[in-house]
Amino acid sequence: MAGPARSDTEQIVENLGALAWEYRAECVVSAVLLVGWTVATAVVGGLERAIGLRTDGPWAALIGLVIIALSVVLVLRISVSRRVLLALLAVSRIRRRVRRAIQRLDLRSFNGSTVKVKTIRATSSGWLLRARIPRGARLDELVAECDTVAAELRAHKVEITRTQHDAGLIEIRVHDVEPFTSPNAAGQQ
Residue type, 25: A
Bridge pairing between strands 116-122 and 126-132:
antiparallel
State the pTM of this model. Answer: 0.59
Check pLDDT > 70 for residue 53: no
Query: Mean pLDDT throughout 68-92?
Result: 79
| Angle, CA of 93, 99 and 100, to the nearest 5° | 90
Query: Mean pLDDT throughout 30-55?
Result: 69
- The answer for residues whose C-beta is within 8 angstroms of residue 33's C-beta and 6 or more apart is 67, 71
CATH number of 109-175: 3.30.980.40
Check pLDDT > 50 for residue 185: no
Which residues of the chain does CATH 3.30.980.40 include? 109-175
Check pLDDT > 50 for residue 188: no
pLDDT tens sequence across 92-132:
888 888 888 877 776 555 556 677 888 888 888 888 988 88
